[in-house]
Amino acid sequence: MKVNRPTKSFCILTKIIALLFWYMYLTSLLKTIFNSTKKKRLIMKGAIFFSTKYGSTAEYTNWISEATGLPAFNIKEADTDPSKYDFLILGSPIIYYKLSIHKWVKKHLESLESKPIIFFSVSGAGAGPKLDGWITDSLPEDFISKMQHVALRGRQIREELTWFDKIMLKIGGMANDDPQARKEELEGFDYMDKSTIAPILKLVEQFQPDEVPA
């Protein structure tokens, strides 16, 4: 019985198909390794450090922490070293026209200057020259120029204030020429809004692109 041998063309075609198969397999494998390495390189370790007095900054911090998965540390309750992290979110209320976190920033300035910083302030005032002035009076100029600032508006419940704060706000309100600001200082306000943390979450995506939910 005569057995038909594969033709030369058939053998060449078989080899070409085999080579194409291995080429596709190796390309897919290398792409997976590259993407895995790239992902590990891009995702940085971050944390939130904050100060708070009446709870507005703490509440914003909790919302940001829940959305990003980043650990949060109250600077008055935790002795955590910020130098352990690749990037930081710092949050602070404005107390008497100054950021309450300003002493902590100056204490850790050497380690903070080498890191990307997302900074959020919490006050009754919105973004603008007045708020910019308070921040300029609180933090070093070089530090301000490098950080990315997001202004959030907080809450002031008059019944929760200390007697000293009530007196100071009453004095400030009586002397304030701005009718709206005077009303807020004398009666309180509540501008808390979870949706306003969206710009912060967007900034975090620079460092953890696959970690922040869409």
In degrees and rounded to multiples of 5, residue 213 shows phi and psi of -60, 145
pTM: 0.75
The 10 Å CB-count burial string (b at 16+, else e) for 54-71 is bebbbbbbebbbebbebe
Each residue's pLDDT expressed in tens, for the chain with a length of 214 residues: 554 555 666 556 666 776 666 677 666 665 655 555 444 445 779 999 999 999 999 999 999 999 999 999 999 987 788 989 999 999 999 998 899 999 999 999 998 988 999 999 999 888 899 999 999 999 999 999 999 999 999 998 888 778 887 887 778 777 777 777 777 777 777 899 999 999 999 999 888 765 444 4
By CB atoms closer than 10 A (0-12, 13-18, 19+), residue 36 is exposed
Nearest to 86 by CA among 60, 112, 120, 50: 112
Question: Distances from the Cα of 77 to the Cαs of 47, 55, 111, 197, in angstroms?
Answer: 15, 14, 20, 24
Q: Which has the closest alpha carbon to 48: 69, 20, 27, 21?
A: 69
Answer whether 182's CB lies under 8 Å from 176's CB: yes
49 SS3 class: strand
Residue with tokens 């352990």: 84
How long is the chain? 214
45-154+191-204 belongs to CATH 3.40.190.10: no
Could you tell me which residues are beta bridge partners of residue 46?
Answer: 87
Instruction: Find where tokens 């973004």 sit.
Output: 127
Within 13 Å of residue 101, how many CA atoms lie on the same side as its CB? Answer: 23
The neighbour count for residue 74, using CB atoms within 10 Å, is 16
The CA distance from 58 to 178, in Å, is: 28
Three-class SS state of 128: coil
